[in-house]
Copies of this chain bind each other. A is one copy, B any other.
Amino acid sequence: MKLIGVDIGGTRTRIGAFDAGRFLARRAFPTQGMGEVVAEIRALLSRVGWEAPQAIGVGAPAPMDMRAGVILGCPNLPHWRRVEVVKALREEFGCPVYLANDATCAAIGELEFGHRAQNFVYVTWSTGIGGGIVTGGRVVWGATGQAGEVGHMVLRPDGPSCRCGKQGCLEAIASGTGIARAARELLGEELSAEDVIARARVGDRRAGEIVEAACRALGRGLAILWELLEPELLVVGGGLTGSWDYLGPKVQSSLREFARGDPRVVSTELGDDVGLYGAAALPHHFPNEWTSL
């Protein structure tokens, strides 16, 4: 099946042409608006010699109305406010188009092209924290496709304020943004999460405490997923997994403290492309009853 995947990110958009589950070609470019996406898909189609795709899957980080196929937009995506992406691409390319949350797409990528467990949770550990749940080989969508909000479990009711309006969410404590805020408050310095991790690696005690606290919180969140969903494994992706060799053992240790059994967490092997893989496979997983075409 000739499929196009589109992964709209905060800074870069990735598109790829897939056939029989294999990447034929891919492109990445700075995220702008719909015009650029259409032009890049056209270029990709001509490169692989397809007249048209048979389906298009789109993943995006912003709030969306999945069933209506509309990206609602967020500060990170100024060109994508109330964009009817499904309608626009369907009219442009004459094929079914499907839209889903990027973390859900990443879970689909893991299911189809990664570790391929039938029961797992994919967690994005990056500027924010998101997730996608797969159980019995099927995506857990929830009532309107918003399931998987791993980052908004409240772990500490008296914890730091979260951008979602609550306090003490996993995301507020353990995300890249949370780590940078902890550095600002505890070290009095403007550092990126990567800076803090780099300092911790070389033995800076106070940076080390910040990193420990973040890993411990992430492990606690993963332990809740383990108890609730009995997955075979947990898969973590996103920017902070660039330091997984250092962070992974800390996360695993916390996970084992807070979950029974033999919980296992690994990092994705698909790197930055996990969401793109999943977007391309989205047409096979989108709930039938939500398909209007």
Chain A positions 124-163 with a Cβ under 8 Å from a chain B Cβ: 131, 133, 135-136, 138, 140-150, 152-154, 157
In the complex with contacts A149-B230, A154-B258, A260-B164, A119-B138 CB distance below 8 A? no
Which one of A3-11, A40-48, A217-225 contacts B?
A: A217-225
Q: Which residues in B have their C-beta under 8 angstroms from that of A142?
A: 119, 135, 229-231
The CA of A150 and the CA of B144, in the complex, are separated in Å by 22
The CA of A48 and the CA of B229, in the complex, are separated in Å by 39
Give the interface residue-count category, chain A: 35 or more
Let me know if A81 is at the binding interface, CB within 8 A. no
The CA of A258 and the CA of B172, in the complex, are separated in Å by 14
Q: By the criterion CB–CB under 8 Å, are A152 and B220 in contact?
A: no
In the complex with contacts A142-B119, A154-B258, A258-B157, A228-B228 CB distance below 8 A? yes
Q: By the criterion CB–CB under 8 Å, are A224 and B154 in contact?
A: yes
The CA of A82 and the CA of B230, in the complex, are separated in Å by 22
Let me know if A114 is at the binding interface, CB within 8 A. no
Q: Which of A136, A138, A144, A287 has the most CB of B within 10 A?
A: A136
Q: How far is the CB of A257 from chain B (nearest CB, A)?
A: 8
Let me know if A166 is at the binding interface, CB within 8 A. yes
Q: Which residues in B have their C-beta under 8 angstroms from that of A147?
A: 135, 228-230
Let me know if A212 is at the binding interface, CB within 8 A. no
Sample (9) of A-B pairs whose CB atoms are under 8 Å apart: A135-B141, A140-B140, A143-B230, A143-B232, A147-B228, A150-B227, A153-B223, A154-B220, A157-B258
Which 7 pairs of residues, A with B, have the shortest CB-CB distance? A142-B230, A147-B230, A149-B227, A146-B230, A152-B227, A153-B224, A154-B258
